[in-house]
Structures are given as C-alpha cells and as structure tokens.
Amino acid sequence: MDELEKPTPPPEEVIVPEETSEIISVNQEITEPEKTSEKISINEFCLNCGTKLQDQFCHHCGQKDIPQRQTLGELWTNFISSFWSYEGKFFQTTKHLITKPGFLAVEYNKGKRESYYHPARMYVFISFVFFLLFFSLPDENDTNDPDFKPNGVSLSQSNTPDMDSSSIAKGKKEKKRYFRLSNLPYKTVREYDSLQESKPESERDGWITRTLTKKSVELNQRYSNAPEKFSEDFGQAFTDNFSKVLFWLLPVFALLLKLLYMRKDLFVSEHLVFSIYYYNFFYLAGSVLMLVNLVSWLAWLAAAIGIWIFFYLLFAMKRAYSENWGKTIFKFTAFTLLFSLMLVLGLTVNALAILLML
Ligand SMILES: [Zn+2]
C-alpha cells in the first residue's frame, strides 16, 4: 500500500532547447536534396528552359524534372502529386485565412510568399465560388417565406388593388412557367399609358412611378416567353455589377486604410495586400454562410459566422497594424462607417446607371 500511495515524483521537465529543433530542420534541409538527387537523373537539362539541372526542380524556372514522355501511370502520378501539393498549399492558406485574421497579409508583406497560395489567385478562385453559389442556390424567401409574393420586384403594389390572395397563389404556382417581374396588370406599355390618360391629372402616377412601371412592363414583355433568359441575363448583369462595385471598392478599401494609418510607413500596395486578403476571407465566409443557411437547424452557426465576418476585420487590423486595442477599435469603427458609406454610394450609382441604360 505504501508503495502505491507514495506520490510519484513529477517527471523531470524535459526542456527541449529551441536550437535543437532548428538544427533538426536544418539537417532535414541538407539531407533532402541528397535523397532527391538520386531521382534527378531523369533529364540532364530542364525540359522547359534548358538549364542544366542540379536538383529535382530547375533552379532557373522551377519546373519539376519529369520524363518527357509519360506513361499513363506517370501522367496520373504527376497529375495527382502536383494537384496535391497545389491544393495542400491552398487548404493550408485557407486555414490561416479563417483562423488568423491579418496573418497572411503580414507574412506576405514580410516577403514570405512561396509558402502560401497567392492572394490574387485565391481571390479569383474564391470569388468565383462565391458568385456561383450566390446565383445557383435557391433564395430562402422563394421557398420558406409564408408572405411570399410572386413578384420579385414589386414596384407598384398600390397600382394593383384588385390582386387578391388567390391570384397571388396562382402566380406562385405559375412562377416556374411564366416570367413576371412584377404584379402589374398591364400587358403592354400602351395599355398602361391609355389607362393613365383616362385618369384625371391628379390621380396619375408620378414621373418615377411611371418610368419604373413602364420599364417593368417592358421587361415583362421581353422575357414573358423566356423566363430562363431573364434569370440568365439578370444573373449576368448582377454578377458583373456587383463584382464591379466590389472590384472598384477594393482600392478604396486600401486607401481608407492608408488614410487611417497615415503615420505608419506603409505603401498603399501593402494596405492593398491586406485588403485582398480581407476580400478573400469575406467571399469564403460568405460562401460557407450560404451553404449553412440551407440547413435550418444550423441557424446558430450562421449567426456565429455572421459575427465572425463582422469582427474579423477588427482582429485583422489589430494583428496587421499592431496598435493598442483602443486605437484599433476606434479605427475599426471609423473604417466600417466610411466603407459602408462608400458601398452604399457605389451601389446607388451603379443601380442608377443600370436603370438609365435599360
Ligand atoms: Zn528550367
């Protein structure tokens, strides 16, 4: 019993000096090329640029030394391994992007680039996924909303007092087959005009209502026989314009940061790198949010992602610009207000431009 009750002495702390691990990694770096040097005898010269090979990868252009003619098996192996190293880097970068706000921008601006997926390439890929999901996933309001109205854009509800609930229900059923931008009772612009003219001057629609009504009647006519054409065109126009607004606001994002961190000795380009990484995160989180929104019992997760998207920038600013929390919170608030203003402005200008061009 005594033996058992005796407290076992704490194991001596094994202090591994940091140097040891560094030595190990240095050793690995030394031994690795030796291992691979056995493999490099495939070609004497790089097949891509003709430089004499010293390693598995060309020191001049970076191409891997692989046989000129590949069997199906070699082709497959090289395809998988290049895919894997590429995708591995992508997933590693994505992990950092989600969990460490601002970290990748700091790394990039420190010059550490090859270890991570390039921010611009990531931007192209992630924004593509985002917009793909954005336009292919069913709109929640279309399926779940009990107050569902068959018109996507109801420009003039007041003009349709004769629309009762049964016709709305009918519209809902027919939604898939017939395109209706709005519940307007007019089939043509002429019909609307003559109806307006029959009314006394004081009861006629104002200029804005008239213009909008005519535009939507025109659209109804144009797409009534080809509803899929409308969603295609609209999707295209919206993608173009939404991404256009966001694209134009990217430098604004960076310039606002430059303004807020005027005293820091940083180039606009360095703020821009930070901005691109933020955009990457935003599109990525937005994509995940859209998928999570499809599952009703994951509402808590959607809320959590929403909160993370909002506060991500605060933590990113804290890490990348390393000022105290007071200053960072102040600048975060100022930035959020200013950028929201720019966003509203940009979207308004664009919406007006679209309306005028229709
Ligand atoms: Zn080469």
Per-residue pLDDT tens digits for 336-354 = 999 989 887 887 777 666 6
> Which pLDDT does position 238 carry in this prediction?
53
Distance 91 CA to ligand 1 centre (A): 27
Q: What are the distances in angstroms from CA 332 to CA 123, 236, 319?
A: 23, 33, 12
When pLDDT is averaged across residues 262-279 and rounded to a whole number, the result is 94
> DSSP string spanning 251-306?
HHHHHHHHHHTTTS---HHHHHHHHHHHHHHHHHHHHHHHHHTTSGGGHHHHHHHH
> Which pLDDT does position 273 carry in this prediction?
95
8 A C-beta contact, residue 98 and residue 284:
yes
Task: Quote the tokens at residue 205.
Answer: 């629609």
Distance 217 CA to ligand 1 centre (A): 62
Q: pLDDT exceeding 70 applies to what percent of the chain?
A: 68
Distance 273 CA to ligand 1 centre (A): 29
The residue with tokens 């070699």 is 74
CA-closest candidate to residue 131, choices 245, 227, 228, 216? 245
CA-closest candidate to residue 241, choices 347, 326, 148? 347
Q: pTM score, two decimals? A: 0.60
Q: Specify the higher pLDDT residue, 197 or 28.
A: 197
Distance 81 CA to ligand 1 centre (A): 19
> Which pLDDT does position 147 carry in this prediction?
41
